[in-house]
Structure 1
Amino acid sequence: MEAGNEHYDAIIVGSGFGGSVMAYRLAEAGLRVCVLERGKKYPPGSFPRSPYDMSRNFWDPAQGKHGLFNLWSFKGLGGVVSAGLGGGSLIYANVLLRKDEKTFVQEDLNNGGYEYWPVNREQLDPHYDTVERMMGAQRYPIAHEPYKSTAKTKAMQLAAQRMGRDADWQVPPLAVTFGNPGETPVPGEPIHEPLGNTHGRTRTTCRLCGECDIGCNYGSKNTLDYTYLSAAERAGARLYTRAEVKEFWPADGGGFVVQYVDHSQAREGEPLEIPTSLLPRVTLTADRLILSAGTFGTTYLLLKNRRHFPALSGQLGTRFCGNGDLLGFLLKCMDSSTGKLLPRVLDGGHGPVITSAIHFRGKEEGGTGRGYYVEDAGYPEFFNWLYEGSQQLALLKRGVRLASRLTKGWLGFIHDSDVGSEISEMLGRCEVSSTSLPLLAMGRDTPDGNMRLTKEGMLDIDWRTHGSREYFTRVRKSMEDIAKALEGKMVHNPLSYLSRVVTVHPLGGCPMGRAPTEGVVSAEGEAFNYPGLYVADGSVMPGPTGPNPSLTIAALADRFADDLLAGLPRRTSPGRTRRDAEASATREAPPA
């Protein structure tokens, strides 16, 4: 849908965890709200799965690609974010963990410190509560079958026990519907949604297919398009997709002017004949502008438009980190508990991507160093087929044996026509894939990165793992301990040995602070020296959250909305009230 030449009380750029929360809160308060999202809508069944479609499922409009994944590559790290209505919620692993109370540190930034949090856990807890209700958080229902037989979950719990960390293992809250309120969880059942959703489609409970990170085609994930954005739309917010914001500036007399490129008529698959900077633009105006395009997107937009905001803090681009993300792989895990050395089946493709976590506490929490979490990281089931298919020599040998058996039968040398066992042998024991599992760690690395523009106007990040060497060494050791507990091998991401990591949780760039000398925005999310300009996404973090940051981003946005709305006259909402929306969004956990 195209907007144009319209004025709003608030324009929100981006529809991730910050933008969606702000959109709903402002719309239900009666403000005229517009959300500009560069990506497409993804209703159930629309996420690509075929090799052909997946090869085009990337974001690069100049090359005719308007897909889900936006990949960034810098010297010290790579980053994976998304483009689509619902932002990062479309590809995240659903975990809703709160930032630990004692990690809201307040370091001396003038004496070697890197992060100062101007908010604390007590201030955020009410907002955490609200977001959890709206996102319908449920824990993985391990008291019920088929969930309690999930091999990777049981293995992580066993590893924690063998490491003496029983109390540190948990099944975290997930933004996934496993069962309807008050009902026993069952995979594939219709989800009860009396008010419907923005896609107008029926969703089903989690089918345990491991496809969370490439888009849930069943709507089992309670992504932002089903929760906050659906509620925002019912409250009157206008949601525009295929709208890529390029430029914005303060308007004469107050407010802001925003220009975006409308991609709704773009021919996907065909590279542009002109630079994207020369594409026609649509112009809107608003009293308030909220940037929620993510750590990469928001910081990049502010750097590109800095000439329009000369009084913006010099802290723009600082305090970048990857939230301590580190990927490792468990291989060939075994089980000797019966006296025989047998393969330990982990079955990484069964269940949602993440079901459990082990918390390794930092010095603030009674541990050592900077704390972190290690979580099981499943994957789509078709990865197992690819993995097994890569074992070419073994596959060839089994294929030759099957062909020999079938040929003998066709020639009449064998009279047994039942070849099921032979085909089973052709598939093999599949121990390579079944005994393997990725592990995803995240925690409190050092936020010492800087973001800037190159001479060509491209985003660049100066960040290296050496500033967090001790942290990453401890994380690798913990992963190796988990592998030892499960009698397997740990293979670290080879890129990490080149001081390079891949983050799915980039943070910082527009950090909160107490003054312009310390941050770009205040503890309420408003930019210093520019009233009405807000930032609400991962870029406002003055340091890592430790656990998965989505819940903290959303909770901060809910807090920012309180500040923005404070003092405004209460208007009659075109939709329902916040209390009604929260009540309908609350989903009880299935019976334990």
Structure 2
Amino acid sequence: MGGNEHADVVVVGSGFGGAVTAYRFAEAGHRVVLLERGKAYPPGSFARSPTEIAANFWDPSQGRHGLFDVWSFADFEAVVSSGLGGGSLIYANVLLRKDEKWFVRDAPAGEGYENWPISRADLEPHYAAVEKTIGVQRFPKGQPRYQASRRTELLEQAGERLGYTAEQPPLAVTFGVGGDAPVPGAPIGEPAYGNIHGRPRITCVLCGECDLGCNYGSKNTLDHTYLSAAVHHGANVRVHHEARSITPRDGGGYTVGYVVHTPGDVVATSALPQRTITCDRLVLAAGTLGTTYLLLRNRAALPGISRMLGRRFSGNGDLLGFVSGVPGPALGSAHAPVITTAVRVPDAVDSHGGHAGGHTGGRGGPGADRGCYIEDAGYPGFAEWLVEAANLDNEASRIVRTVYELIRSRLTGGPSRQIGALVGRLLGPGEASAGAMPLLGMGRDIPTGKISVRDDYLQIENYPADSQPYFERLDRLMEDLAEEMGGKYHRNPLTLLSRVITVHPLGGASMGTDITTGVIDEWGEVFNHPGLYVADGAALPGPVGANPSLTIAAFADRLAEHAVDAGPVLETQP
């Protein structure tokens, strides 16, 4: 794996952009090498114990090579994945298509405008191709053994009573096999070539652990689908390999410098020895943060790259809220996939076409009339104990009453007796967790974030300040839904500090109509650098609004199809 190694295509990253492009190029007969910095996670290998989870973060300088990579910037936090399959390992499975009118085409002016050079129609066949390959199904609401998730119908009804549309969104989860009725725990059949892990998989067991990694293989993650197919077609997939440098080659193509991590070694990435591989085509799909960092870090080696590099960052309007005290039977927040229902709130562009008016907004300031989705968010069963523990007043009073009864029994010389009922009262009725659920909101925030690299560290500024009216509206909408369900809404404490957490970072190397408006063209190719592509969330010129995974994958599918059909790469321009 030294300096003499060459591939037709090198793909950096194995998420929704990398997995799809690796498969499409390999299927077309190209020699593909995929570099993924994280490790493979077969079913059964995801962390669950406190000790395992504490070590399951990414920071090689501290000897951590785990799944979760948490970034903290000036005004927000971001959580992304490091592992074979990228974000599909920890996402909430939702595969919604971007709304047709949300492919807005504002006139380029100032900051915060959106100008998508592609349309919903351009992506339609690729949406369908991705859905077929991944295998989407909807949560089987109301069917036997799936009725414990009361939150599914409750949120749907609340949204509809408020005048919004609601649905069970397509999920990358297997509930039933081969058209049979859904049954938890049934074996999932594999293609003749099997899957990349060689482990059996079973249908969804409704454990609510999707965001921690599915130990049952019920999630149709990219390692089970696209990456397994890519390997079948000859792709060379390498874990623990992290790309660090990009250099155009004389006559065309690129030299990629990379390092190899050894899990457990306490070595900073910058201190690892660098190796190289050359290629005719290079696809960057290391995630929004990883890809933009690579391009910024190697900007001097890429003459003529657009000045828009690092611009147009968006968090896809992510906002987390909480509902408690919903009356009636338990919501079943820990007895279904993480997300089962999506409520769509309309956008101003829905009524007057695909022009959002750039950075302007309606009453309430910029972004106050932008659309969004609000989804139920479940959690693992063990998290119900955390919800109960958070109800400290009731817990303290139960402890006092229990201790009092035990002491009174001893002091009065009462007979020995079974205390099962007493212990049960100590644990409490479970009302706090029974009536609680998180809400996950996302939508059309304003993409004004600016990404830069300082002292080899990624920095992001000017986000989410310009989107505060949007977030305030989303907060109010969540509160309306909570009240409609009969519960009480709790804002995420971080919003009180004007901070948010995003799990859907987008932009930084976005597409444009030309080099003055974007880093790449509508086919994902970097302006002035033939054969260099961006295939992940960094390519998007604004928020998707809905969960962005399907749109990223469809864009990557379109990119790869066009590149394969285009034939040999032209010589890199000076």
Change (3 A) 1:223 1:474: same
Name the counterpart of 1:348. 333
Alignment deviations for residues 105-153 of structure 1 (CA, whole Å, 9 cap, x no partner): 1100136661110000111000000000011000001141222341111
1:22 is aligned to 2:7: no
Name the counterpart of 1:180. 177
Q: How does 1:326-337 map to 2 (within 5 A)?
A: 326-334=319-327
Quick one: distance in 1 between partners of 2:415 and 2:403?
A: 13
Unaligned runs of 5+ in 1: 335-342, 570-592
Conservation of the 8 A alpha-carbon contact between 1:5 and 1:282: no
Name the counterpart of 1:365. 350
Conservation of the 8 A alpha-carbon contact between 2:310 and 2:452: yes
Q: Which range moves more in the overlay, 187-196 or 546-555?
A: 187-196
Change (3 A) 1:161 1:527: closer
Quick one: distance in 1 between partners of 2:255 and 2:2?
A: 14
Unaligned runs of 5+ in 2: 353-361, 363-368, 569-574
The one-letter code sitting in structure 1 at the alignment partner of 2:331 is L
Change (3 A) 1:390 1:498: closer
Q: How does 1:358-397 map to 2 (within 5 A)?
A: 358-366=343-351, 369-392=369-392, 394-397=394-397
Quick one: distance in 1 between partners of 2:249 and 2:159?
A: 57
1:405 Cα deviation from its structure 2 partner: 6.1
1:253 Cα deviation from its structure 2 partner: 2.5
Change (3 A) 1:164 1:415: same
Quick one: distance in 1 between partners of 2:58 and 2:514?
A: 36
Change (3 A) 1:3 1:360: farther
Q: What SS is found at the alignment partner of 2:71?
A: strand
1:230 Cα deviation from its structure 2 partner: 0.4
Conservation of the 8 A alpha-carbon contact between 1:510 and 1:521: yes
Q: How does 1:64-463 map to 2 (within 5 A)?
A: 64-110=63-109, 114-165=113-164, 168-195=165-192, 196-263=194-261, 265-266=262-263, 268=264, 271-272=266-267, 275-334=268-327, 343=328, 345-366=330-351, 369-392=369-392, 394-399=394-399, 401-402=401-402, 408=409, 413-414=414-415, 417=418, 419-454=419-454, 456-463=455-462
Q: What SS is found at the alignment partner of 1:426?
A: helix
The one-letter code sitting in structure 2 at the alignment partner of 1:429 is P
The one-letter code sitting in structure 1 at the alignment partner of 2:549 is S
Change (3 A) 1:3 1:86: farther
1:50 Cα deviation from its structure 2 partner: 0.8
Quick one: distance in 2 between partners of 1:411 and 1:183?
A: 63
Q: What SS is found at the alignment partner of 2:387?
A: helix
Quick one: distance in 1 between partners of 2:89 and 2:210?
A: 8
Alignment deviations for residues 484-530 of structure 1 (CA, whole Å, 9 cap, x no partner): 10122111112112221110000000010111111000000000000
The one-letter code sitting in structure 2 at the alignment partner of 1:225 is D
Name the counterpart of 1:566. 565
Q: TM-score if structure 1 supplies the norm length?
A: 0.89
The one-letter code sitting in structure 2 at the alignment partner of 1:271 is V
Change (3 A) 1:355 1:541: same
Name the counterpart of 1:547. 546
Quick one: distance in 2 between partners of 1:404 and 1:62?
A: 51
The one-letter code sitting in structure 2 at the alignment partner of 1:358 is V
Q: What SS is found at the alignment partner of 1:477?
A: helix
Q: Which range moves more in the overlay, 142-151 or 118-127?
A: 142-151
Conservation of the 8 A alpha-carbon contact between 1:15 and 1:292: yes
Name the counterpart of 1:574. none
Conservation of the 8 A alpha-carbon contact between 1:315 and 1:510: yes
Change (3 A) 1:113 1:50: closer
Alignment deviations for residues 407-446 of structure 1 (CA, whole Å, 9 cap, x no partner): 85999834654x4333322221111222111100000011
Alignment deviations for residues 350-384 of structure 1 (CA, whole Å, 9 cap, x no partner): 20000001000101223982110000011111111
Quick one: distance in 1 between partners of 2:552 and 2:4?
A: 31
1:62 Cα deviation from its structure 2 partner: 1.1
When the two chains are superposed, the root-mean-square deviation of aligned CA atoms in Å is: 2.0
Quick one: distance in 1 between partners of 2:317 and 2:396?
A: 41
Name the counterpart of 1:582. none
Quick one: distance in 1 between partners of 2:453 and 2:111?
A: 26
The one-letter code sitting in structure 1 at the alignment partner of 2:541 is P
Quick one: distance in 2 between partners of 1:528 and 1:508?
A: 16
1:214 Cα deviation from its structure 2 partner: 0.8
Q: What SS is found at the alignment partner of 1:328?
A: strand
Quick one: distance in 1 between partners of 2:393 and 2:548?
A: 43
Quick one: distance in 2 between partners of 1:482 and 1:534?
A: 42
Quick one: distance in 2 between partners of 1:424 and 1:541?
A: 53
Report the number of matched residues.
Answer: 551
The one-letter code sitting in structure 1 at the alignment partner of 2:209 is E
Conservation of the 8 A alpha-carbon contact between 1:159 and 1:486: yes
Name the counterpart of 2:366. none
Alignment deviations for residues 54-83 of structure 1 (CA, whole Å, 9 cap, x no partner): 111100111110000001111121100010
1:84 Cα deviation from its structure 2 partner: 0.1
Q: Which range moves more in the overlay, 426-435 or 310-319?
A: 426-435
Change (3 A) 1:112 1:409: closer
The one-letter code sitting in structure 1 at the alignment partner of 2:34 is V
Conservation of the 8 A alpha-carbon contact between 1:352 and 1:378: yes
1:460 Cα deviation from its structure 2 partner: 0.6
Q: What SS is found at the alignment partner of 2:199?
A: coil
1:182 Cα deviation from its structure 2 partner: 1.7
Change (3 A) 1:206 1:409: farther
Conservation of the 8 A alpha-carbon contact between 1:351 and 1:378: yes
Conservation of the 8 A alpha-carbon contact between 2:317 and 2:442: yes
The one-letter code sitting in structure 1 at the alignment partner of 2:61 is A
Quick one: distance in 2 between partners of 1:16 and 1:3?
A: 25
Name the counterpart of 2:464. 465
The one-letter code sitting in structure 1 at the alignment partner of 2:205 is R
Quick one: distance in 1 between partners of 2:229 and 2:149?
A: 34
Q: What SS is found at the alignment partner of 1:509?
A: coil
Conservation of the 8 A alpha-carbon contact between 2:148 and 2:335: no
Q: What SS is found at the alignment partner of 1:320?
A: coil
Q: TM-score if structure 2 supplies the norm length?
A: 0.92
The one-letter code sitting in structure 1 at the alignment partner of 2:386 is L
Quick one: distance in 1 between partners of 2:28 and 2:375?
A: 38
Conservation of the 8 A alpha-carbon contact between 1:59 and 1:83: yes
1:199 Cα deviation from its structure 2 partner: 0.3
Alignment deviations for residues 319-375 of structure 1 (CA, whole Å, 9 cap, x no partner): 1110011111112223xxxxxxxx563232120000001000101223982110000
Conservation of the 8 A alpha-carbon contact between 1:409 and 1:416: no
Alignment deviations for residues 373-396 of structure 1 (CA, whole Å, 9 cap, x no partner): 000011111111122234456445
Quick one: distance in 2 between partners of 1:415 and 1:516?
A: 83
Quick one: distance in 2 between partners of 1:480 and 1:331?
A: 11
Q: Which range moves more in the overlay, 492-501 or 44-53?
A: 492-501
